[in-house]
Amino acid sequence: MSLTASNETPGQTVPQPAAAPAAPLIEVRGLGVQRGGRWLVRGVDLAIRPGEIVTLIGPNGSGKSTTVRALLGILEPSAGEVIRRPGLNIGYVPQRLTIDWTMPLTVRRLMTLTGRHGAAEIRAALQEVGIEHLAEAPVQQLSGGEFQRALLARAIIRRPALLVLDEPVQGVDFAGEIALYQLIHDIRERLGCGILMISHDLHIVMGQTDTVVCLNGHVCCSGTPQVVTESPEYRALFGAQAASALAIYRHHHDHVHLEDGRVVRTADGGRVVPEHDHDHGSCGQDHDHGHSHGQGQGSGGDAG
């Protein structure tokens, strides 16, 4: 288990895997940030290990961005400690970055904003996110999705050990969102980096994340998506939204695949046939809805 909540209850823990997990890239213990006499967040424990996707969710003002900023060293924490692996190389995609028109900046120049990179590296990074044709375009003319991809390329060109994404799908339409999350997932596979992400898209988060941390001024609950969605704290916090996220999350389960490849729809989310069910909680990082529906036609599994 990579993450512990300070108010952990026995029901929320996940069994320790047999192999010892890699040492965390970055870890915060008892993190608290106080501003103007008020605690924005308090008592946050979390760790990100190589190859792991950790997603922070929580209502507005729950301290998600504050936690990430403290973790990155942008904010000075008022309590607790941040332990970084020495020489940790971080790639960051900040929230709501707008580049003023007064700054002439092409996508190509954006790639070398915080470090020196050669033309071949730049081409490779842009290819990786699928916008190599936009290299000479001024960043102000990109669409929301293209800009987020450019920012992602800028972050991964550094070959970061830790990629931090603060709401990476902002200003992106729904279809673009899915593609972008898939891209982030692929980047993890290719770079083997740890990823810390803030997201509002509960349903997508649940599909693409190893660990979910639900924040509301403190860690409400955390663990695999399965554990979190079933925790009462999460349901109390997100209410109807949680229920709908769960419904979308589970809509992939409204059928089961029989041995011969036939698809059988089930009324109650497929949970009646556990041996054929996808267990999101445990299949973790290999999980990919697309592949599991490959043989069943009209699976309806692709959102969008």
Residue 35 DSSP symbol = E
Residue 34: helix, strand or coil by DSSP? strand
Judged by CB under 8 A, how many residues of this single chain contact another protein? 28
User: Binding another protein by CB under 8 A: which of 35, 133, 159, 262?
Assistant: 133
Q: Are strands 211-215 and 53-57 parallel, antiparallel or unpaired?
A: parallel
Q: Which stretch binds another protein (CB under 8 A): 40-48, 96-104, 191-199, 225-233?
A: 96-104
Buried-exposed string 160-177: b where 16+ CB fall within 10 A, e elsewhere: bbbbbbbbbbbebeeebb
The DSSP result for 79-120, as a single string, is EEEEEE-TT--EEEE-SS----TTS--BHHHHHTSSS---HH
User: Binding another protein by CB under 8 A: which of 22, 23, 83, 97?
Assistant: 97
Q: Which is nearer to another protein, 28 or 204 (CB)?
A: 28
User: Binding another protein by CB under 8 A: which of 43, 59, 94, 301?
Assistant: 94
102 part of the interface to another protein, by CB under 8 A: yes
Q: Which stretch binds another protein (CB under 8 A): 101-109, 185-193, 210-218, 278-286?
A: 101-109
CB–CB of 214/57 below 8 Å? yes
- Residues in region 237-296 near another protein by CB under 8 A: none
Residue whose tokens read 């729809």: 265
User: Binding another protein by CB under 8 A: which of 22, 74, 119, 236?
Assistant: 74
User: What CA–CA distance (Å, rounded) separates 243 from 231?
Assistant: 12
- Residues in region 143-162 near another protein by CB under 8 A: 158
Q: Hey, what amino acid is at 291?
A: H
Which residues would be at the binding site for another protein (CB under 8 A)? 69, 72-74, 90-92, 94, 97, 99-100, 102-106, 109, 113-115, 133-134, 136-138, 141, 158, 164
